């Protein structure tokens, strides 16, 4: 793999979208999560457990 930065955009912060965003962030990709509903983004950031919250705070997952 090259040294260039990889960014993944996930459209939709529901159950599937937030799960995909979590997996991609954990794999080391800079992940941007989009949703038209602000409430979905808030739920997507919280997610199950603390792992996604940690990724959000460290800048790997952007909502």
**By three-state DSSP, how is residue 27 classified?**
coil
Provide the pLDDT for residue 49.
Answer: 46
What does the alpha-carbon distance between residue 11 and residue 1 come to, in Å, rounded to a whole number?
25
Backbone angles phi, psi at 31, to 5 degrees: -120, 130
- DSSP H or E run through 44: helix 38-46
For the segment 8-62, what is each residue's pLDDT rounded down to a tens digit? 999 998 888 888 988 898 899 999 989 998 888 887 776 544 445 555 555 556 6
Place of tokens 């705070």: 57
């Amino acid at each position: 793999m090259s040294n260039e930065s990889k960014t993944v955009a996930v459209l939709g912060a529901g159950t599937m979208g937030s799960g995909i965003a979590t997996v991609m962030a954990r794999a080391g990709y800079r992940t941007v999560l989009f949703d038209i509903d602000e409430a979905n983004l808030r739920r997507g950031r919280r997610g199950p457990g603390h792992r996604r919250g940690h990724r959000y705070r460290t800048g790997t997952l952007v909502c």
